[in-house]
């Protein structure tokens, strides 16, 4: 089964300038909890000056309705953020670096080595407390400042993260420029040295290749895919980075590729609509939920679905 990590509440909202109130964020997460996603990245415990949209992370975590079987995670950059995350009962933490030296400098004002030094104490504390840790590698394919990234640099960085005790590494196409062929080249060298079960993928859809890149990754045996409801998202520190690949589109594509995906497309679309009054970005051209789901049951799951064809 493919596990979907829903990153909309964090990566989807972090670059939005419109104020989204706590109640709306809580409603969004609660609605996502009923869709079948495996994990929800609820927020980030970062500087409110750098990412003001997520200043209410602790309040959001304390007000969401948690559902058994779903992991509620957060991005945590440092020990101060880690303490706040623990206080909010975060169930999994994520740390981040980039394969590009320039992107690290622009994003967090340090080198690649400096970024690892900065969050190593966070990982150590998390492991000691029994919390699973994810590591994001941004700009794994292309950097907006340096251009194309050498796949070997990503392999080395992935190994360094795993040596720290990080048990899941999300390979991220931060500016959405990767092609399926570039995904193939990276996976060929990465998975020769790193177990596939430790790898997740995170694609943006800037050039319309997000779905193709997801399918290419899944063909290598990767079973954890990040996505954002409605394609929300973008990195505030990466020029040209638009939205993440849409969760509903990922679910559709995977089921059409005969993969098992326990996610309700209708539920994802309805969850995204919780934010419409604040973001005003709902696309009226988006297919109605009933045109996406099976005509009898709304879950795309090989074991639960009645087997009728998707109508669009």
CA 221 to centroid of chain Cα atoms: 18
235 an active-site residue?
yes
φ/ψ bin of 49: left (φ > 0), alpha (ψ from -120 to 50), beta (otherwise): alpha
Question: Does residue 203 contact residue 244 with C-beta atoms inside 8 Å?
Answer: yes
What does the alpha-carbon distance between residue 198 and residue 160 come to, in Å, rounded to a whole number? Answer: 13
Write out the DSSP string of 63-96: HS---TT-EEEEE--SHHHHHHHHHTT-SEEEEE
DSSP character for 129? T
Q: Which of 8, 138, 164, 163 is nearest to 73 (CA)?
A: 8
Q: What residues contact residue 193 under an 8 Å CB cut-off, 6+ apart?
A: 155, 159
Q: Which residue in the list 143, 235, 274, 294 is annotated as catalytic?
A: 235
What is the rounded CA–CA span in Å between residue 289 and residue 266? 5
Give the count of alpha carbons within 13 A of 122, CB side only: 30
- Residues identified as active-site: 235
């Amino acid at each position: 089964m493919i596990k979907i990590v829903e990153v909309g509440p964090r990566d989807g909202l972090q670059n939005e300038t419109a104020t989204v109130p706590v109640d709306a964020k809580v409603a969004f997460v609660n609605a996502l909890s009923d869709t079948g996603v495996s994990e929800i990245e609820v927020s980030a415990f970062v500087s409110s000056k750098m990412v003001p949209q997520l200043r209410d992370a602790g309040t959001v975590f304390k007000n969401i309705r948690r559902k058994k079987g779903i992991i509620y995670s957060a991005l945590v950059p440092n020990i101060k953020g880690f303490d706040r995350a623990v206080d909010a009962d975060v169930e999994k933490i994520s740390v981040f670096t980039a394969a590009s030296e320039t992107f690290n400098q622009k994003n967090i004002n340090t080198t690649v080595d400096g970024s690892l030094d900065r969050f190593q104490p966070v990982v150590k504390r998390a492991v000691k407390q029994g919390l699973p840790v994810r590591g994001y590698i941004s700009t794994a394919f292309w950097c907006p400042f340096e251009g194309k990234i050498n796949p070997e640099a990503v392999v080395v960085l992935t190994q360094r993260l795993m040596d720290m005790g990080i048990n899941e590494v999300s390979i991220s196409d931060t500016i959405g420029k990767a092609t399926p062929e570039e995904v193939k080249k990276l996976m060929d060298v990465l998975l020769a040295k790193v177990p596939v079960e430790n790898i997740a993928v995170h694609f943006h859809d800037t050039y319309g290749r997000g779905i193709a890149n997801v399918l290419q990754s899944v063909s290598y045996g990767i079973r954890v895919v990040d996505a954002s409801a409605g394609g929300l998202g973008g990195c505030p520190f990466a020029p040209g980075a638009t939205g993440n690949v849409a969760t509903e589109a990922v679910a559709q594509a995977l089921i059409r590729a005969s993969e098992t995906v326990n996610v309700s497309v209708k539920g994802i679309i309805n969850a995204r609509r919780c934010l419409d009054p604040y973001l005003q970005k709902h696309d009226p051209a988006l297919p109605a939920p009933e045109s996406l789901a099976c005509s009898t049951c709304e879950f795309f799951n090989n074991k639960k679905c009645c087997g009728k064809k998707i109508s669009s």
